Amino acid sequence: MTITIVGHGYVGLVTACVFADFGNVVHVIGHTKEKIDRLKKGDPIIYEPGLKELLQKNLKGNRIFFTMEYQQAVAVSDIVFITVGTPPKESGEADLSAVVDVARKIGSALKKKFTVVSCKSTVPVGTNKKIETIIKRHKSKSVDFAVASVPEFLREGTALGDTYKPDRVVIGSDSKRAVKMLLELHEPIPSKKIITNLASAELIKYTSNCMLATKISFANLIALYCESLGADVEMVLEAVGMDSRIGRNFLYPGIGYGGSCLPKDVKAFISIARNNKVDAGFFEEVEKVNSTVRDNFAETVIKMSPGKKIAFLGLSFKPNTDDIREAPSLYLIADLLKHGFEIKAFDPVAADNVKKILGDKIKFVNDPYEAMEKADALVIATEWNEFKQIDFARVKKLLKNPVIFDGRNIYSPDLMKKQGFKYFSIGRI
């Protein structure tokens, strides 16, 4: 098939590379010449393990093309995917301005007798119907189309694997012809296909992300109980997770969820509930717990650090990505700076993105041990693998005080005690 993907972020670019790798011809539309030029040269712009190699492979195979011209791409495509951002407004409601703008441009560019326009962006229920209305208003009379919702479930850091072999593929459409074409496109993907209507597909994505956020906040709430009651949250959640009805995935305490999906989707779900006169209290508490654990950790560092110079390891919201959107690290750094702390930070891939926001407010270093030199304490904010087996003897020599604040519970309290560290983690004894 020939397909077009509008947007080249984590979802758009990964999806484009995977479908190109299956042998399809894929056009990717962007809106910034500089980024399009970089993509044409094989630079994926974002960091995702394996993505650069896959992009370059399909560029050499002449299966993936980058452009800013809708007419050039949409006119020859069987399926067009919308993968633009839907960031939260101040109210928490999803900002659909980019989706609306893209729908207008797609409508004007449609030329084939039949095209499927499929939205992968996370959007409130009813948005695909709005897309349909907008396209009808801008298309020529001679072309036909159908809309569909095919939400993505990829995780940054494992996006390629999640796209090649997702847990499920959800296809929502009122058009049997559109469903048939989308099933054909997804045929190489060995996952269960869920065929449903537009509203259900739109709601599935929000429900999935809100469930994941709920599990994280639940784990953090139990950590707060454990700290008050003298229990060990790791032991509690390990035992709870052995129940096959519950499972351990996402039941890990820490300094909260971040990234491009969970924070905005919880906010949007709260807004959707309010707009439809449904009680939003449950998800308001999920969001509140996420803020509480982050604030509590910052307060612990502020009160218990023996000095104002901090070594800070991890800036991305999770390992294996350079994404810093809603990263807990940024909230922690802001709190520490307000209280006069000096910060030397290291992250394997996300430092440049943080520099664009913080400038010289903190010092960025190229090695974790360089960050620790003469620091009063060490803060762990992201559970990168390279932090899990650091040389503790060297850490102890470099730090002015053997104090570690572990926001991701990556070390054993017993080991830290044996190594002579004063160790603070989340919900453990």
Neighbours of 60 (CB within 10 A): 10
Give the C-alpha separation, 351 to 371, whole Å. Answer: 13
Of 17, 119, 226, 261, which residue is the catalytic one? 261
**17 labelled catalytic:** no
Active-site residues: which are they?
A: 261
